[in-house]
Chain A
Amino acid sequence: MIALERRPQPSRAWSYLSPLLAVIVTMIVGGIVFAALGKPPVEAIRTIFWDPLFGDFASYFRPQLLVKAAPLILIAIGLSFGFRAGIWNIGAEGQYIMGALFGAGFALAFYPSEARWLIFPLMIVVGTLGGLLWAMIPGLLRVHFRTNEILVSLMLVYVADFMLDAMALGLLRNPEGMGFPGSRNLQQYPAAHNAELIANTGMHWGVIAAFFAVVAAYILLSRHVFGFNVRLAGQSPRAAAFAGVSADRMVLICMGLSGGLAGMAGMFEVAGPSGQVLASFNVGYGFTAIIVAFLGRLHPVGILLAGFLMALTYIGGELAQMNLQLPRSAIQLFQGMLLFFLLAVDVMTNFRIRLGRKKVA
């Protein structure tokens, strides 16, 4: 008989091992799925995990890794605080969109300004503010009317999506765009362009912000009383109240923090890699960041690694679609399996397996 037994102390080794094990199990089961689809499993796994980094065209893909990982990491870092405290902001995708709209809208309002020293820093502030304000809606509703922030924040993603459509076709549409939808391209607006800092590396200001967020989050969680309160609120809400942590204030801070960082990520994206306010601007970073946050164990360094891993599966997945004609949904299934297996293996952190039969009296 196999029995699960609660560990007296959570296992430190397993909390590090389980993400690795989850990746390995995902590779094996994913390989089986690919084989069942009639694709060569080993080649598919290699295409996803190896080729973007070390394959023939790796020099093209490697910069993409930073470009894709940066927003994931930035958003996931923000979400991780709320998730640790038991505050579930599922609407980072919407806050990401609003950050992009605010940032781009601000820049375009001053078009064509030459003052990069003024416009670009303010875009960061305004973009962050956009995401923050959007996240305050579910936050304030929860604090004042006890609504469920999961539902409200998720629903607001669809509202933000419509706002994006409306802006791309209306207020922000390029007046010189021959009637095509979409705003002016910020890449051709030097004062607002979030350009590559070093050519062909993918390094832009958003990447720097993401690294900075990782370091700041690490310090906050391990040293600062705010990080302590966040952990306390998540682990035991009544002990947090006893320690003087205001639950309502915690909701607003965590929603604001995650919304703000998501908004910042959106602003960096629209001003850089994407360039344009378009209906197809958002590609699901806000949702994937939820997986990144959990895959990284809500730990800043873990999120950094998980962000790169997810970015890799994005790039590798596209590559597998092109080279091996793997269906897109198979790639999404593969990404979903990662989270699934992580949660499954996670049991080992708090429980151990005991083999052998219990003696019956």
Chain B
Amino acid sequence: MTKTLLALAGLTKAYPGVIANRDVSFEIQQGEVHALLGENGAGKSTLVKSIYGLVKPDSGAMHLNGQPFAPNDPKAARAAGIAMVFQHFSLFDALTVAENVALGMEDPPPLRDLAGRIRDVSEQYGLPLDPARIVGDLSAGERQRVEIIRCLLQDPKLLIMDEPTSVLTPQEVEILFETLRKLKSEGTAILYISHKLEEIRALCDTATILRLGEVVGDCTPREVSAREMAEMMVGGTLHVPEREAGPEGEVLLKLEGLSARSPQEFGTPLRDISVEVRAGQVLGIGGVAGNGQDELLLALSGEMRTDPQMVQFKGRPIGQLPPNDRRGLGMCSAPEERLGHAAAPDMTLSENAALSGKTRKALVRNGFVDWGGARDFASIIIDRFDVRTPGTENVARSLSGGNLQKFVIGREILQDPDVLVVNQPTWGVDASAAAAIRQAILDLAANGAAVIVISQDLDELMEISDNFAALNEGRLSAPRAASGLTIEEVGLMLGGAHDMEVAHVDA
């Protein structure tokens, strides 16, 4: 006996210059796991923000249990029984689990009682968590558990989960799914947002597919193939990057016992990392977020200095060299965070082109910046990497995430480096841009560069890497040839399930 829990009718929301949602209608039944599927920028986030009271739709109506439902703020949504786990956690590193949970509640009970309730809920749903631990010391998977438990304490009727598995290992994903299935068996509906098709096929009862803000279809995920869903999502066939096996060349980059403390509090130190990358090779480094990816990139870009011998470029120790010296030698990098790290948000694309390109493109003469040359370099990047922007004098933050990412990656690749290190090259980028970026990385390797791709997207790594290694708590596993690795083996390399246990689902 299913009953409609939440019905959306004709929801429309426009932002200046873009319609995020156009006439979206669908229904969520009680006790079902409902997938909301779509590429980045398809309007999934805006839609769930409307349900959670963070965004007010321009038109359309929602009904919860048959009653009109128009939450003014998240507080009203929570009061109506809707809870949400965000993709980016809103936790305070310096506080304990219990304190963080209390901060998210309307009227928290005394901390001692709360700790007891946290323990109860975490045991009931197979999400072990010690209320007294400091959040800064927790892994990403454990942090997510804090967020989930915070939601479960409110006894929600509808739980919204925004890309929950992007920070989890395959084993942790399985545990999360057990928890969600248990919730479902108790009658809680789950709105599950993802673009990972296999997960949706494993977990969800129904799926609504969004493209460019509109509902383009729905399906029962178990009954259709992942490919069919992907094509509905993208609205066409996908271009899969091609690769030519390049010749195995000399060792261009060698890390030898690379150890370093994280420059950030609660960061992950690098522990004794040793690996070699040869010309023509792509080394994929996987791992759950927060296991030393940022630190590894900083150590390779030169923003974090180490002992000279720890990083060797063509046999030459360079661990002590600052970023521009490394660029001069032929080593470029692209950090994960586009706005604020790889690019300065309020600077123009010309200025951002000079930001990392000034050394190799000889854009500084006698201390003076050659702005004409920087503009030319920027327009070459825009042209070659199909960056959609009115021109080189637009500021970086006016670009969409995918376009800026193409600009950032293009800027490094067009400097023709011998070694390229990229972190999360296609994070938050739509499928066609992601394919273009991967192709460009593969072309660079085919031309004899050594490339390190750090990513949390295992499918991406399997697609483009020759060798695969995993980062776990700052340690790097021994690299293995990527072809032939199974997803279970990868999961074990990523560090397994971090001592979690599967929820015991009672009948």
Interface of A with B (CB < 8 Å)?
A: 5, 8-10, 223-226, 228, 231-232, 235-236, 238-244, 246, 358-361
Contact = CB atoms under 8 A, between A and B. Distances in A.
Contacts of B303: 241-242
B248 interface: no
Most chain B CB atoms below 10 A, which of A8, A232, A242, A361: A242
B342 interface: yes
A242 B355 contact: yes
A242 B394 contact: no
Contacts of A236: 340-341, 344-346
B394 A238 contact: no
17 contacts: A10-B346, A223-B369, A224-B367, A224-B369, A225-B368, A228-B354, A232-B344, A236-B346, A238-B341, A239-B342, A242-B355, A242-B356, A243-B323, A243-B355, A244-B302, A359-B59, A361-B56
A71 B60 CA distance: 63
A361 B70 contact: yes
A352 to B, nearest CB: 10
Contact of A359 (B58, B359, B398): B58
Nearest to B12: A361
B497 interface: no
A235 B356 contact: no
A10 B345 CA distance: 11
B335 interface: yes
Contacts of A243: 323-324, 355-356, 358
A223 B370 CA distance: 8
Q: Say which size band chain B's interface belongs to.
A: 35 or more
Contacts of A223: 368-369, 371
Contacts of B59: 359, 361
Given A9-B395, A359-B58, A242 B346 contact: no
B345 A246 contact: no
A239 B56 CA distance: 34
Most B C-beta atoms less than 10 A away, residue of A9, A238, A244, A360: A244
Contacts of A224: 367-369
A89 to B, nearest CB: 23
Nearest to A219: B368
A266 to B, nearest CB: 29
A228 B364 CA distance: 11
Given A238-B340, A239-B340, A361-B59, A231 B347 contact: yes
B58 A235 contact: no
Given A236-B341, A361-B57, A361-B60, 8 more contacts: A9-B395, A231-B347, A232-B344, A236-B346, A238-B340, A239-B341, A244-B322, A244-B359
A242 to B, nearest CB: 6
Contacts of A5: 16
Nearest to B324: A244
Contacts of A231: 347
Interface of B: 11, 16, 56-61, 70, 301-303, 322-324, 327, 335, 337, 340-347, 351, 354-356, 358-359, 364, 367-369, 371, 394-395, 397-398
A242 B345 contact: no
Nearest to B13: A361
Contact of B323 (A242, A360, A361): A242
A9 B389 CA distance: 13
Contacts of A10: 346, 395
B68 to A, nearest CB: 10
Contact of A225 (B337, B364, B394): B364
A9 B394 contact: yes
A169 to B, nearest CB: 46
B347 A235 contact: yes
B335 A242 contact: yes
A3 to B, nearest CB: 12
**The 10 residue pairs across chains A and B that have the minimum distance between CB atoms:** A244-B324, A244-B323, A239-B344, A236-B344, A238-B341, A361-B57, A243-B355, A241-B303, A8-B398, A225-B364
B367 A242 contact: no
Contact of A361 (B61, B354, B369, B395): B61
A232 B343 CA distance: 10
Given A241-B303, A242-B301, A225 B395 contact: no
A192 B318 CA distance: 53
A238 B347 contact: no
Contacts of A238: 337, 340-341
B411 to A, nearest CB: 11
Nearest to B398: A8
Nearest to B325: A244
Contacts of A228: 351, 354, 369
Nearest to B359: A244
A92 to B, nearest CB: 26
Contacts of B323: 241-244
Contacts of B11: 361
B311 to A, nearest CB: 16
